[in-house]
Amino acid sequence: MGLGTVNHQGFDMAAGTQRMQAGYSSQVVEAVAVLHGITFAVDTCQLPFVVESDTLGVVKMINEGRPSPGRYWTDCW
């Protein structure tokens, strides 16, 4: 999985990748990337932030404010 951050002017601030040892669905990988991205943004005081994702299910879950434990988040840990 990979993630990147840019500032309000569009300049790259940081990027990272992490290898996942098992064959997870794209939605699980995207949920893990979002989780790591949010944690990174908070830890490095890059606030406020915007989350962008290509996986509609993960975006909807975040926007609705109600994670579905059985679908994505339980696989993140």
Q: Does the pLDDT at position 13 exceed 60? A: yes
SS3 at position 1: coil
Kindly report the average pLDDT of the chain as a whole number: 78
Q: pLDDT-derived band of residue 77, with 50, 70 and 90 as boundaries?
A: very low
Domain that holds residue 63: 2-76
**What Rg do the C-alpha atoms of the chain give, in angstroms?**
13
**Number of domains the chain contains:** 1
Q: What is the mean pLDDT of residues 29-52?
A: 84
Q: Does the pLDDT at position 72 exceed 60? A: no
Give the C-alpha separation, 67 to 3, whole Å.
Answer: 20
In this prediction, residue 36 carries a pLDDT of 85
Can you give 45-76 as a three-state secondary structure string? CCCCCCCCCCCHHHHHHHHHCCCCHHHHHHHH
